[in-house]
A and B are shown apart, each in its own frame.
Chain A
Amino acid sequence: MNQMIRDYQQTAMRYIDSLHEAGGDRLTGRRQAAARRFAELGFPHTRTEAWRYTGIEGLMQRGFELTERDEAFPRHAVMRRFLREPTAARLVFVDGRYQADLSDTGLAGVRVGSLREAVAVGDRQVLEAVGSLSGLGDHGFAALNLATLQDGAVIRVSAGVTVQQPIELLHLAGKGAAGRAMRPRHLVMLEADASANLVERYLALDGETAYFNNLVCEITLAERASLVHQRIQQESAQAYHLCDIHLGLQGKAHYQGINAAVGGVWSRTRIHCRFTDPGAGCELDGLYLAGEGQLTDFHLDVDHAAPHCDSRENFKGILHGGGKAVFDGLIQVREQAQKSNAHLSNANLMLSRRAEVDTKPQLQIYADDVQCSHGASVGRLDEQAMFYLRSRGFDKGQARRLLCLGFANEIVERFQSAPLREQLSEVIGQRLEE
């Protein structure tokens, strides 16, 4: 075993011991198992297919710390970033730490709060849910997340309850995040026939702080439950962001995830959905934007292991400057998964000759009575469209901006919250006029 991995494992073990000594920790056993799993797995490398185009050298060289630091932050700066629309509940994390006084958790039929607190009071349901979908971790970072898990959100919606207004999950990184690795884990559980709308955002209080967000999200939807999950990753320009989302959908449950990754120097989001009950549906939309020095990666892993399930994925990327993107979309339709519908598409708009994309949409079908399609495209700005716009008085930058917004619009308009649509359009507009 290589020395670096041993060092990391020892650090993780020390962390686990310190939690234990500080007054007991109900996850100790699982943490230790995850630390051992990490030692077996090591860090992902580009020799494994899933990480082939996503190197981690930059991340490893920076060597982020596991320590916690309680750095003061300006409250008003946090509040300024609240979602500008009425919310059903709000959970705020700054530098990985839960901020109870900035959060708002009171609502009938919905139980939201901090994972650390739920674990501390021995909440059985939460204790059982940690790792129930992710396991100990199928790559080193996921295992480290569990071994050194800090805090996160727990969101539970009771059976039959419909939460109309969004539940906001806001992550902010400020000065206290500098040089640190944060390990949040979120648990979302909707009971039967419940429905909710979750807005999850990763923002920076300061545009240039370097930190690593290594997070895992486990989402369980019981029969006929339905979740709209709007996510925006807009970390600081120097941040590393790694996110694993695991979906467990029971019969006729429906998940709709709308993703945007526009920040960070390096970011990877993986969404894993396994259908084990008939009649469930999963819709994933995504938009990524990568410019000079940035890498964005989306990995989708949808496994049809039950009949009559639908999955649809539509991801679009805009690459400019020396931006790099990786898209890997895998749909498996197993033998027993008859009457499956599975559609996957990925389109990329390249604004510069130095930009790069590695796209790999894959369908693996073992059932015969299914409807499936997949496709990927890589294109440039349409010259005729540029001429048309310029002949209407737009300069090159404005024309480019409008065409990119037009390209992104199909995904942007999937976001149900108007403030999110505006925020995204603004970001795209600003970035592309640079």
Chain B
Amino acid sequence: MLSIKHLSAGVDGKAILKGIDLEVRAGEVHAVMGPNGSGKSTLAHILAGRDGYTVTDGEVRYMGRDLLGMEIEERARQGVFLAMQYPVELPGVNNMTFLRESMNAIRKSRGEEEMDAVSFMKLVREKARQVKLDEKLLKRSVNTGFSGGEKKRNEILQMAVLEPFLAILDETDSGLDIDALRNVADGVNRLRSPHRAMIVVTHYQRLLDYLEPDHVHVLAGGRIVRSGGKELALELEAKGYGWLLEEVAA
């Protein structure tokens, strides 16, 4: 589904990613871990199409297409979804309207029919219940004045409604209380299917306990320095990154 080859990228001449290789097949969940500043969000942003990064080498193919050549919205319409580390506030933009128009923009681009307001309302209510997002937040402006945890739940709600093929979650678990973490994990697990794949960026083992990723990667200094199964995450939890970085350096 997603194939990243030798991806190198940076900002203003500063190299951040230095040759990333990653294969993500449909049905898989990949966890990406790594120290602060190692380039995890940069990778997530580049996959979603954010401006400001320069790709200096490598390529990314998504469902057989050149992902990096696609507009941001085109990626979203083809099923790429990024749950952001810092979701953006949109004052004055009603959350419900935003979600409905988003869904309809995606549907329309696929030649599907738009969903009417009533059916949509029903759908969103149900999904909001699943991710335990207070319905009142649907009537407010997108993320505006939401607590940190509410913003993250709102991202998961969007993911649940939009049903992406490739979901990238950038530290969606950070700053969540234990119940919220559970809800986020449930949201991700519910979406799991043989047709979808997920890349979950996290610093914590706890989320991975719930998610049971197929692969765990450690990103350090702009490279994937180690890949393994879910036991790698347990090892990192116990020992930290120090030993790994030393091993790599050696």
Contact = CB atoms under 8 A, between A and B. Distances in A.
Contacts of A392: 76, 98, 102, 105, 158, 162
Nearest to B141: A406
A391 B75 CA distance: 8
Interface string B70-105: 011101110001101001101111000010011101
Contacts of B105: 392-395, 398
Contacts of A383: 51
Contacts of B129: none
Contacts of B193: none
Contacts of A382: 88
A125 interface: no
By CB atoms of chain A within 10 A, which of B87, B91, B103 has the most? B91
A333 B158 CA distance: 50
A370 to B, nearest CB: 29
Given A383-B51, A395-B105, A390 B71 contact: yes
Contact of B90 (A391, A406, A408): A406
A407 interface: yes
A403 B109 CA distance: 21
A410 interface: yes
A87 interface: no
What size tier do the contact residues of chain A reach? Answer: 20 to 34
A135 B141 CA distance: 46
B201 interface: no
B230 to A, nearest CB: 29
B99 to A, nearest CB: 8
B48 interface: yes
A366 interface: no
Interface string A175-216: 000000000000000000000000000000000000000000
B116 to A, nearest CB: 18
Contact of B88 (A385, A402, A407, A409): A385
B73 A393 contact: yes
A393 B109 contact: yes
B120 to A, nearest CB: 15
A391 B72 contact: yes
Interface of A: 382-385, 387-396, 398, 402-403, 405-410
Contacts of B88: 382, 384-385, 387-388
Given A390-B49, A407-B92, A409-B93, 13 more contacts: A383-B51, A387-B51, A388-B84, A391-B72, A391-B82, A392-B98, A392-B158, A393-B105, A393-B106, A402-B101, A405-B92, A409-B92, A410-B92
A408 to B, nearest CB: 7
B49 A402 contact: no
A402 B73 contact: no
A-B pairs, top 9 by smallest CB distance, nearest first, are A406-B92, A409-B92, A390-B72, A406-B93, A388-B88, A393-B76, A393-B106, A392-B102, A393-B105
A116 to B, nearest CB: 43
Interface in B14-33: none
A382 B106 CA distance: 22
B65 interface: no
Contacts of B77: 393
B195 interface: no
Contact of A394 (B48, B73, B84, B92): B73
Contacts of B48: 387, 391
Interface string B31-65: 00000000000000000111100000000000000
Contacts of B102: 392-394
A405 B49 CA distance: 25
A410 B94 CA distance: 12
Contact of A403 (B71, B90, B106): B90
A297 B65 CA distance: 50
A403 B144 CA distance: 13
A390 B75 CA distance: 9
